[in-house]
Amino acid sequence: MEVKIKLNGKTVVDDIPADMLLIDFVRAHGCKSVKRGCETSACGLCTVMLDDVPVLSCSTLVARADGRSVCTLEGLQAEASEFVGFIADQGAEQCGFCNPGFVMNTIALLRENPDPTDDEILAYLSGNLCRCSGYVGQLRGIRAFLDEKHGKEVERG
């Protein structure tokens, strides 16, 4: 079947098998930030934005994205660069495997709620699995980013 998808701002037309998953499609088109982690829709490593809503690409058929917009971390570098340094400063990127999923969900969170509480951050990121550092470093990094953005004194790294 033929699909037409706007991937990171560029129109991609491709002939795909009807059962192809979105994770395989975006990776085949050079989006290597999207990772396969659990194969059970439980880890968040495969998160992409489908029409600006975070979805798990490992459990989404490409056919659902036909005629729609898909954005991966490769397409959100400018927005992500604002806060990834804060996460790194907190030592939360130990192996880095889970970072793209965390970043994608943090972008979605901050678009939806520009000033979340710590509990709201943890709740939003609860679908992301980090095997190295857990969520404390990510929370500290996001909180430091938000504090600096709101003019509060922040101690970095």
Beta pairing, strands 2-7 & 69-71: parallel
Do 117 and 141 have their domain in common? Answer: yes
Q: One-letter amino acid identity for 16?
A: I
CA-CA distance, 77 to 41, in Å (whole number)?
24
Compare 34 and 38 and report the one with higher pLDDT.
34
Structural domain contains residue 157:
no
The domain spanning residue 84 has which CATH number? Answer: 1.10.150.120
Domain of residue 43: give its range.
Answer: 2-75
Element holding 136 (H helix, E strand): helix 136-149
Neighbours of 47 (CB within 10 A): 28
The number of folded domains in the chain is 2
Structural domain contains residue 155:
no
pTM metric for this prediction: 0.87
Tens-digit pLDDT profile for residues 104-134: 988 999 999 999 999 999 888 888 887 777 6
The domain spanning residue 20 has which CATH number? Answer: 3.10.20.30
